[in-house]
Chain A
Amino acid sequence: MSDTNQVEILLVEDNLNDAELTLRALKKHNLANKVFHVKDGAEALDFIFARGAYGYRIMADHPKVIFLDLKLPKVDGLEVLHQLKSDERTKVIPIVVLTSSQEEKDVVESYKLGVNSYIVKPVDFENFVQAVSELGLYWLLLNKPLP
Chain B
Amino acid sequence: MDNPTNEAERAAEPVEPVRPEEIAGPLNVFRQHGASLIVFFILILLSTTVFSWYYTRKYIHHQANLKFQNEVEETKLLIKERIDVYIHTLYGAQGLFYASQTVESDEWALYIQTQALGERFPGITALEFIERIPRKDKDTFGFKIYPDTDREEYYALKFIEPRAGNEAQIGYDLGSDTVRLAALKEAADSGRATATRRLSLTRGVAEQPGFLICLPVYREDAPLATVEERRAALTGFVAAVFVADDLLAGIFGKKSVHPEIGFQVYDGQSLAQESLLYDDESVLRTIYPNFHPRFSGTATVDIAGRTWTLVFRALPDFGLTPTEEKLPLLVLVGGIVFSLLLFGILYSFVTSRSQALSIAEGMTAKFRESELRYADLIEGAPDPIIILDRLGHVRSINPAAERVSGYPARELVGRYFAGAGALTPSSLPKALQEFAFSVVGKERSPFEVEIIKRNGGHLTMEANPRPIKRDGKTVAVQVIFRDVTERKRAEKVLEESRNYLDKIINSAADPIFVKDRKHRWVLVNDAYCFFLGHKREEMIGKTEHDFFSKEEADVFAEKDESVFESGKEDLNEEKFTDAHGVTHIIRTRRTLYEDAKNEKFIVAIIRDFTGQKLAEEKIRQLNDDLNRRNQELININKELEAFSYSVSHDLRAPLRAINGFANALLEDYAGRLDAEGHRYLDLIRTNAKNMGQLIDDLLAFSRLGRKEIQMTNIDMGELAHDVFRELKLIFPGRSIHLDIQPLYPARGDMAMMRQVVVNLLSNAIKFTSKKEEARIEVGSAVQGSDAVYFVKDNGVGFDMKYAGKLFGVFQRLHSVEEFEGTGVGLAIVQRIVHRHGGRVWAEGKMGEGAAFYFALPLTLEGGKI
Contacts and interface: CB of A to CB of B under 8 A. Distances in A.
A99 interface: yes
A104 B703 contact: yes
21 contacts: A15-B653, A15-B657, A17-B654, A17-B656, A21-B660, A99-B649, A100-B652, A101-B649, A102-B696, A102-B699, A103-B648, A103-B703, A123-B652, A123-B659, A123-B691, A123-B692, A123-B693, A124-B659, A124-B689, A125-B662, A128-B656
Contacts of B103: none
A87 interface: no
A75 B274 CA distance: 141
Interface in B653-683: 653-657, 659-664
Contacts of A21: 656-657, 660-661, 664
The 9 A-B pairs at the shortest CB distance, nearest first, are namely A123-B692, A17-B657, A125-B663, A21-B660, A125-B660, A100-B649, A125-B659, A100-B652, A123-B655
Contacts of A101: 645, 648-649
Q: For chain A, which range describes its interface: under 10, 10 to 19, 20 to 34, or 35 or more residues?
A: 20 to 34
A42 to B, nearest CB: 19
B764 interface: no
A100 B689 contact: no
Given A102-B699, A122-B692, A17 B649 contact: no
B645 A17 contact: no
Interface in A100-146: 100-104, 121-126, 128-129
Majority secondary structure of chain B interface residues (helix, strand, loop or mixed) = helix
B685 A121 contact: no
Contacts of B696: 102
A24 interface: yes
B688 interface: yes
Given A123-B688, A123-B689, A123-B692, A100 B660 contact: no
Nearest to B655: A123
Contacts of A121: 652, 656
Contacts of B695: 123
A21 to B, nearest CB: 4
Nearest to B646: A71
Given A17-B661, A103-B645, A124 B692 contact: yes
A125 B656 CA distance: 7
Given A17-B654, A17-B660, A123-B689, 11 more contacts: A17-B657, A21-B656, A71-B645, A71-B649, A101-B648, A121-B652, A123-B652, A123-B656, A123-B659, A125-B659, A126-B663
A71 B707 CA distance: 22
A126 B692 CA distance: 14
Contacts of A17: 653-654, 656-657, 660-661
Interface string A90-105: 0000000001111110
A123 B689 CA distance: 6
Interface string A16-28: 0110010010000
B598 to A, nearest CB: 72
Contacts of A102: 648, 696, 699
Nearest to B666: A125
A18 B653 contact: yes
B57 to A, nearest CB: 135
A21 B662 CA distance: 11
A137 to B, nearest CB: 19
Nearest to A14: B653
